[in-house]
Amino acid sequence: MKICIIGTGYVGLVAGTCFAESGNDVVCVDVDEAKIEGLKQGVIPIYEPGLKELVLRNSEEGRLSFTTDLAAAVKGALVNFIAVGTPPGEDGSADLQHVIDVARTIGRQMDSFKIVVDKSTVPVGTADKVRQAVAAELDARGLSIEFDVVSNPEFLKEGAAIDDFMKPDRVVIGTDNVRTAELMKELYAPFMRKSNRMIVMDIRSAEMTKYAANAMLATKISFMNQIANLCDCMGADVAAVREGIGSDSRIGYDFLFPGVGYGGSCFPKDVKALVKTAEECGYDFLLLKAVEEVNERQKLVLPRKIELLLGAGGGDKPLAGKTIALWGLSFKPRTDDMREAPSVVIIEQLLELGATVRAHDPVAIKEAARIFGERIEFSHNPYEILQGADVLAIVTEWNEYRNPDFDKIKSLLRQPLIVDGRNLYHPGRMRGAGFQYLPIGRNGQHFFEN
C-alpha cells in the first residue's frame, strides 16, 4: 500500500518506518528541510532503541523515503497520515493549527480517493474539522472527489515504540465507513498475525479513547504518589502497599510505582486537553484537575527533602554552598525526551535554593544542555559528578543506575547520602551499607508540605 506520513516527529517517524518494514511504500514529509536532509543521510532526530537500524534498512531497500514536497506525496498515496504536533495552548487546549493546515493542503492537492488519518493526538471532534477543511478546498477547486477521514490514535511508549507498533496491545480505528475499515485492517494485518487486536468504533469514541487511556494512567501515577506521601507520614512502606493492592486483578501492578511525577509529551498535555474539552461542554472534570495538581506538587518533593536535610535554615538560598549530584534527566528511561520532565522542575528549584547542580544521563545531556546552558554541570560519567557532592539525587530510573558501585559512591560523596526519587534500592540494605537513604514513601519521615 502507498502511504504518506505527514510529520516526522516521534509518532510519524516510528509509524512510517514500521509500515515500511511490513512492505508498504512510505513517504515521510516534513517542512523542516534540515531534518529531511538529515533523515536522508541516516541522521535520526530522536533517540529510540532500534529505530535507526530500521530507517536505514528500509531506506536502502527503497520502501522508505523522505521529502518536503507534500503535494507530490499526497497525490501518490492512498492513505495519508497526519502526524504533526498538537502543542498545548495557554489554556491547556490542543493547538490544531498544523493539523488543519495539513488537511487543507490535502484538499488542494488530492486528485483521487484518499483516506485521511488523524494519527496525532487530537480532541474529540477534530475529525469533523479535518473533513470540513478538506471538503472546503475541494469545493474551492470545483471538484467532487471522494475521501474519508479516520481516527487512528497511537499508543506508543517512548523507549519501546518499535515493539509497541509491531506487537500492539490494540489498534483503534475510528470510522463509520465499512470499506475504509477493511482497508485499514489490511494495512495493519501484518501486526495482527498472532491475534486480532483491531478495535473498530465510531470516530468520536476513537478520539476519546486516546485521551481516556492517558488520563487513566496519569491518574494511577498521581494516586500512588499520594499514597507514598501518606506512607511517609504514617511510617508505612509503599513498596509493601503496592504489592498488597497490585495483587488484586482489578487493580494490577502497572503504573503504581511512586516517584517524582509524570512527564513527557503525552500525559501532561493530554490531561490538560481533556480538562479543557470538558470545560468546553460545561463539565467540571474535578478528578483530572486534582491529578494535575498532585503531579505538579510531586515534582517538588525531592528538592524539599534535600532542603530539609542540607539547608542552612533561614534566608532565600538555604542550599548555597551545597552541591547536588543528579542521576537522570529524561522524563523516563530509554529516551532523550525532556518535554515536561520532572528533572527540569527539580533542577530549577534546586538552583533557586542556591545549590550547585551536576547532572548525568545516558542520552539526554544534549537536550538538557539546550535547556539549562551553563547553569549546571554535565558529565557523561555518572561517578565523575559525585566527587565532593553533598548528596546523590536519583530522578530517572535508568538501568545503569540500578546496580552501581556503592563503595565507589560512598568514597566520592562528601557524606553517604542518597535521595532516591525512583526507589531503586532496598532501604535496609542501604542502611546496612552505611548510607543515609531516603526513597519515596519508604522511610517514615514527613518531608512535604500540606
Residues taking part in catalysis? 266
Using an 8 Å Cβ cutoff, are 262 and 288 in contact?
Answer: no
Q: Which residue from 300, 14, 342, 351 is spatially nearest to 154, judged by alpha carbons?
A: 14
Residue 316, phi then psi, degrees to nearest 5: -95, 0
Q: Strand, helix or coil at 76?
A: helix
Length of the chain: 450
Q: Which residue from 407, 416, 406, 414 is spatially nearest to 388, judged by alpha carbons?
A: 414
Cell of 238: 509503599
**Running DSSP on this structure, what letter comes out for residue 385?**
G
Q: Which residue type occupies 94?
A: A
Q: Which residue from 307, 331, 314 is spatially nearest to 391, judged by alpha carbons?
A: 307
For the range 190-197, what are the long-range contacts, defined as Cβ-Cβ under 8 Å and sequence gap of 24 or more? 190/22, 190/23, 191/18, 191/22, 191/165, 191/166, 191/167, 197/168, 197/169, 197/170, 197/171
| Distance from C-alpha of 394 to C-alpha of 352, rounded to nearest angstrom | 19
| Distance from C-alpha of 76 to C-alpha of 267, rounded to nearest angstrom | 35
Using an 8 Å Cβ cutoff, are 395 and 260 in contact?
Answer: yes
| Distance from C-alpha of 416 to C-alpha of 406, rounded to nearest angstrom | 9
| Distance from C-alpha of 259 to C-alpha of 302, rounded to nearest angstrom | 9
Cell of 75: 497525490
